[in-house]
Amino acid sequence: MVKPVPQTVEATLELLAKGNYVADRSLATALLLALKMGRPLFLEGEAGTGKTEIGKVLSETLGRKLIRLQCYEGLDVSSAVYEWNYSSQMIEIRIAEASGKHNRDELEQGVFSERFLIKRPILQALEPDINGPPVLLIDELDRTDEPFEAFLLEILSDFQVTIPEIGTIKAKEPPIVVITSNRTREIHDAIKRRCFYFWVDYPDAKRELEILKVRAPEAAEGLAKQVVAFVQKLRGEDLFKLPGVAETIDWTNALIQLDKLDLDPQTINSTLGILLKYQDDIEKIQGSEAARLLQQVKTELAAGG
């Protein structure tokens, strides 16, 4: 049975909540548009803000197959779309020769038929699925190069792939496409124009606390509050790489493993590597700066609650 896509923003928020994803209304709106109008969703933002997660959550909650295409430099058609099964083709040719078939057209048609086609993620995503159109997650598109981007244009606007030997393969129902980018370079406007664009930002304190409650439910209430306040303070610092939500969750889980109910400077210093990924940043925060931030956090929390 095919689960229907949500029709209202509320329903979209609910759907995401069911998949343990706490989303802003703005993101839900963009997602709703993408789902209803059958266009890709383009998510851009810093690392660790939960872009990839959206694709996963969608496939989970809608019960669709998740097809993930991790991009890398030099990604080409043979690893993203299709490849011919050369060894089988060779055998086919040998058999044809041995059995004395010499009709070249027939042989060509036989060798270049779907039987010898190895389907890669994009072609798989165009195939009909019993659970409804799959979710195609094109992850970190900024890691590929421009030629591949250009190749995507046909797929993203018409949901079809042209294979010279066979012809055009078109999806009966367009897949749900989610594209993510860390913005290590600018993606061409032509791609963005075909998508609904959304910038995934760091959440505010309230939202981040909600996320922690869902993703790290074992954390004590007080600890979660301290963690969120501390991370929010860190994001105000002049750092090379700010900690994302993923880092917050990781850090909280680490603190749970250490049986902490309360933050203290020593623990922060020894676990700072989970939050900050650059030595310069760690050096800057470790020690007195961390203690100062923690002090601030504690006074503010005491005043607030």
Q: Is 152 in the site for another protein (CB under 8 A)?
A: no
Q: Is 114 in the site for another protein (CB under 8 A)?
A: no
Which one-letter amino acid corresponds to residue 153? L
Contact 160, 152 (CB under 8 A): no
Strand pairing category for 41-45 and 160-163: unpaired
Strand pairing category for 117-119 and 82-84: antiparallel
Geometric angle at alpha carbon 30, from 26 and 32, rounded to 5°:
110
Q: Is 185 in the site for another protein (CB under 8 A)?
A: yes
Strands (E) located in the chain? 41-45, 66-70, 82-84, 117-119, 135-139, 160-163, 167-170, 176-181, 196-200
Q: Which of residues 54-73 bind another protein (CB under 8 A)?
A: 72-73
Stretch that binds another protein, among 12-20, 217-225, 238-246, 252-260 (CB under 8 A): 238-246
- Letters for 188-217 (x = contact with another protein by CB under 8 A, - = none) are ------------------------------
Closer residue to another protein, CB minimum distance, 56 or 143: 143
Q: State in angstroms the smallest separation of the CB of 195 from another protein.
A: 19
Closer residue to another protein, CB minimum distance, 35 or 75: 75
Candidates 98, 99, 238, 288: give the one binding another protein (CB under 8 A): 238
| Residue for token pair 């430099």 | 73
Q: Is 145 in the site for another protein (CB under 8 A)?
A: yes
Q: Is 76 in the site for another protein (CB under 8 A)?
A: yes
Q: Is 158 in the site for another protein (CB under 8 A)?
A: no
Q: Compute how many residues bind another protein; rule: CB under 8 A.
A: 28
Contact 205, 243 (CB under 8 A): no
48 Cβ contact partners less than 8 Å away, ≥ 6 residues apart? 243, 244, 245, 246, 247
- Distance between CA atoms of 281 and 235, rounded to whole angstroms? 12
Nearest Cα neighbor of 63 from 130, 128, 8 is: 130
Closer residue to another protein, CB minimum distance, 218 or 237: 237
Candidates 14, 114, 154, 186: give the one binding another protein (CB under 8 A): 186
Residues pairing with 196 in the sheet: 41
Contact 178, 137 (CB under 8 A): yes
Q: Is 240 in the site for another protein (CB under 8 A)?
A: yes
Q: Is 280 in the site for another protein (CB under 8 A)?
A: yes
- Distance between CA atoms of 230 and 295, rounded to whole angstroms? 10
Candidates 19, 65, 84, 254: give the one binding another protein (CB under 8 A): 84
Q: State in angstroms the smallest separation of the CB of 76 from another protein.
A: 6
Q: Is 64 in a helix, a strand, or coil?
A: coil
Q: Is 153 in the site for another protein (CB under 8 A)?
A: no
Closer residue to another protein, CB minimum distance, 8 or 88: 88
Geometric angle at alpha carbon 38, from 37 and 39, rounded to 5°:
95
Residues that bind another protein (CB under 8 A): 72-76, 78, 84, 86, 89-90, 93, 104, 107-108, 111, 142, 145-147, 182-186, 238, 240-241, 280
